Amino acid sequence: MKIFTMGGGRPGTESPSGRIGILNLRSIDPFYYEMVKGLRAKVEYKMDSLNLRVLAVTSAVAGEGKTLTATHLAANMASTGRKKVLLMDLDLRKSGIARELGMSANPGLSEYLSGAVPVERIVRNSVVPGLSVIVGGKTVSSPADMLAGERFRSLLQGLRERFDLIILDTPPVLPVPDAVTISEQVDAFILLFRFGYTPHQLFRQAIDELGERKIVGVVLNGEEKKPDKYYHKYYGKYYQVANTKGKPA
């Protein structure tokens, strides 16, 4: 696996200054912007060399910065003008892409998967030229079955034919099964690891659950500090929903 360092102490959680629907992408912290450009170059080379099209961005637990990373990576990819890029929010319990891009939250993926709207209603243009977006839509308490269904499988297959690159923002791996559920339909994963926040044991567990074969890179986010030993806090604050994988909440 490749190691991609974001570093710089950049917070792992979303911040208003990073919302590219409100501010130009270049108006975020210059050092972070250059980090995103470097990440884009490495990811683009890896995806192109292996002829991969669907990339999922995930993390072991919540709060590691996956949504912000996925959004800025997709925007930077699209801004080069070399690819038609789609950013899709698969975190249907707590979708965040609409907020980051300043877009309306509905309709989105959950409405399509429930049969309420056709695909034409959910694929929308963003403020970034060349970047299309599918937001999460209405919150769903248990979306794993929807993501495992034929309707999602057919949707993703059709989108492969329309876009050069599809970036998925998935839920974190350990609290809920969604990321593992869609792993067979994903070409590659990028896994975030936030220094000083996520214990190494949980990070290793996430790698084991996804399988190393499809993980094309690890993004190291923030600065290394002594990890917290009380693991329950990483599970307990994730959406405050029942843990469908049988792990302690």
Q: What is the DSSP string of 149-164?
A: SHHHHHHHHHHHHH-S
Pairwise CA distance, residues 134 & 90, whole Å = 9
pLDDT tens-digit series, residues 60-112: 999 988 999 999 999 999 998 989 999 999 999 999 999 989 999 999 999 99
Q: For residue 229, how many C-alpha atoms fall within 13 Å in the half-sphere facing its CB? A: 0
pLDDT tens-digit series, residues 210-247: 999 999 999 888 754 444 444 445 554 555 443 444 44
pLDDT of residue 196: 86
Q: For residue 127, how many C-alpha atoms fall within 13 Å in the half-sphere facing its CB? A: 17
Cα distances (angstroms) measured from residue 214 to each of 10, 62, 183, 230: 26, 21, 8, 30
Choice between 196 and 176, residue whose per-residue pLDDT is larger = 176
Give CA angle at 214 (177, 142), nearest 5°. 15
pLDDT tens-digit series, residues 8-62: 434 333 333 344 443 344 445 677 778 888 889 999 999 999 999 999 999 999 9
Residue 226's SS3 state is coil
Give me the CATH topology for the region 2-236.
Rossmann fold (3.40.50)
The structure's pTM equals 0.82
Pairwise CA distance, residues 68 & 154, whole Å = 27
> Nearest-CA neighbor of 191 among 61, 59, 4?
59
Q: Is pLDDT above 90 for 201?
A: yes
pLDDT tens-digit series, residues 119-136: 999 999 998 889 999 999
